[in-house]
Amino acid sequence: MIGSAPSAEARQVMRAAAQWLALMESGSANERDRAELQSWLDSHSSHEQAWQKAQLLRQRFADLPSALAMASLDRPQASRRTVLKRAVGAVALVPAAWLISRQLPLDVWRADLRTATGEGKKVRLADGSSLQLDTASAVDIDLKNRRLKLVEGEIALKVPGTSPLTIRTHFGDVLVSQSDVCVRQGQSGCKVSVLNGTVQLQPLRGPVFSLRGGQQISLLAAGAGNVEPFDVLAPGWRDGVLMAQNQPLGDFLRELSTYRPGILRWEPELESLRVTGSFRLEDTDRVLALLAASLPLEVHSRTRYWVTLLPRKNIV
Residue 104 has pLDDT above 70, yes or no: no
Name all domains of the chain by residue range, CATH numbers in brackets: 8-109 (no CATH), 113-229 (2.60.120.1440), 240-311 (3.55.50.30)
Residue 100 has pLDDT above 50, yes or no: no
Residue 50 has pLDDT above 70, yes or no: yes
Q: Which tens digit of pLDDT belongs to each residue from 270-301?
A: 999 999 999 999 999 999 999 999 999 999 99
Residue 315 has pLDDT above 60, yes or no: no
The terminus-to-terminus CA distance of the chain in angstroms comes to: 44
User: What is the per-residue pLDDT for 305?
Assistant: 76
Give Cβ neighbours of residue 104 (< 8 Å, ≥ 6 apart): 19, 22, 23, 26
3-state SS, the chain, equals CCCCCCCHHHHHHHHHHHHHHHHHHCCCCCHHHHHHHHHHHHHCHHHHHHHHHHHHHHHHCCCCCHHHHHHHHHCCCCCHHHHHHHHHHCHHHHHHHHHHHHHCCHHHHCCCEECCCCCCEEEECCCCCEEEECCCCEEEEEHHHCEEEEEEEEEEEEECCCCCEEEEECCEEEEECCEEEEEEECCCEEEEEEEECEEEEEECCCCCEEEECCEEEEEECCEECCCEECCCCHHHHHHCEEEEEEEEHHHHHHHHHCCCCCEEEECHHHCCCEEEEEEECCCHHHHHHHHHHHCCEEEEEEECCEEEEEECCCCC
Kindly indicate the confidence band of residue 125, based on its pLDDT and cuts at 50, 70 and 90.
very high
Summary mean pLDDT of the chain: 82
Among 25-34, 125-134, 184-193, 223-232, the range scoring the smallest mean pLDDT is: 25-34
Q: What is the distance between the alpha carbons of residues 112 and 139, in angstroms, rounded to a whole number?
A: 6
